[in-house]
Amino acid sequence: MAAETYDLIVRGGQAWTTAGLVPVDIGVRGGKFAALGDLPRAAAGTVVDATGLTVLPGVIDSQVHFREPGLEHKEDLESGTRGAVLGGVTAVFEMPNTKPSTLNADDLAAKLNLARGRAWCDHAFYMGGSAENVEHLPVLERLPGCCGVKVFMGASTGTLLVPDDATLDRILAHGARRMAVHCEDEERMNARKALAQAPGATPHLHPVVRDVESALLATQRLIRLARKHGRRVHVLHVTTEEEMLFLRDHKDVATVEATPQHLTLAAPDCYDRLGTFAQMNPPIRETRHREGLWRAVRDGTVDVIGSDHAPHTREEKSKPYPESPSGMPGVQTLLPLLLDHMNAGRLSLARLVDLTSAGAARIFGLAAKGRIALGYDADLTLVDLAARREITESWMATKSGWTPFAGTTVTGWPVATIIRGNVVMRDDALLGTPIGTPIRFVDTLSKEG
């Protein structure tokens, strides 16, 4: 009998499959998982020796800002996705607050075209929800390459800002896919802006200006209206213990994201060390909130981890507070930070996999992604759980050139990134050329053919 042949075999690793962590060889054919088992005599065009490594489903980062079009001096789709694959990420969801904002079919088509031949990983783009396009959202949200609608209740400008309940109510009423929301109460934050504009104001005031109540009020408003319309929502980058306790009672309509930054940093230390470079929206808060987020990770309230990768240049971040912009790079450090937290006992490997791949696939309805199973896209992230590495700015691919975690030593490191059976990163080196394609969703398959 002739030996089985595959395009790729990943041999000798411990893989996280539907049976848990098991020693298994993985055969890939046509970009899909074709065999899981003992494949000692099988042949392949490419064989990856995974001895001593842990093989995870490809990591999915469901919140990144890659700044293209319009803000390419900070980041673009090539550099952002390059950082993603260097960090073990195989797919990303990109946000609509570019210039122009992503508000119609032409805007989405332009982004998909910009990504073609330049994106290192698979990708999808959010459609911004606003008063300007609300009537068209049921059609827009189902376009191929769209991961859903994103709404900014605070912390945005122009037509992307939806500060009032009347507009939010209309957006929730128009469409059916799960809607992602940035929850901060614009009215309350505006009333508190004077605190940041007082003489001598420092970034330590950022979580005071954008206080717990600003976040909780917006989240409560969102859930009330989501229930009114029976609309599924996804609450992004939750930062407060109070929100987590509230959302725990509303999991039928709401899924929840946390970020590695809010799980790792805490005030006031981060502002003491990093100043405006620790500034993001919603803010890094005190230790009690970080502990509340970790409890929500452990008890299942948190569904996914997204990086909220939102780079700005050093020059921009060095402006005095509050002129300094909010946001920091994160896509490349998402997995190293979580592996380090896992090694420190803060979460299990099973929980890490659920938060970085299975969770996003489940709640957003990714088609054939998010698990190591026959017939699924062969997306894999190979990690060395024992490797000790220092995060350095020289390792970062982002155009901004910095990370708040520079100098941090972590235990656990991504050593290979495989996308649809193609090895695109091995041992910190990029391989081949960008092969990223639009992610497919079960809600839009009829539009894709």
Residues with catalytic function: 308
Q: Where are the alpha helices (DSSP H) in 10-70?
A: none
Check: CB of residue 172 under 8 Å from CB of residue 226.
Answer: yes
How many CA atoms lie within 13 Å of 238's alpha carbon, on the beta-carbon side? 33
Closest CA to 442 of 370, 349, 387, 355: 370
Closest CA to 334 of 269, 262, 277, 280: 262
Collapsing DSSP to helix, strand or coil, 137 comes out as helix
Q: What is the DSSP letter of 129?
A: P
Locate 389 and state its tokens: 């590495």
Contact predicate 390/409, CB 8 Å: yes
Q: How many Å separate Cα 74 from the centre of its chain?
A: 18
Q: What are the E-state strand segments in 202-271? A: 233-235, 254-258
DSSP string, 250-267: GTTTEEEEE-HHHHH--B
DSSP strand pairing (122-128 vs 32-37): unpaired
Residue with tokens 């001895």: 51
Hey, is 369 helix, strand or coil?
coil
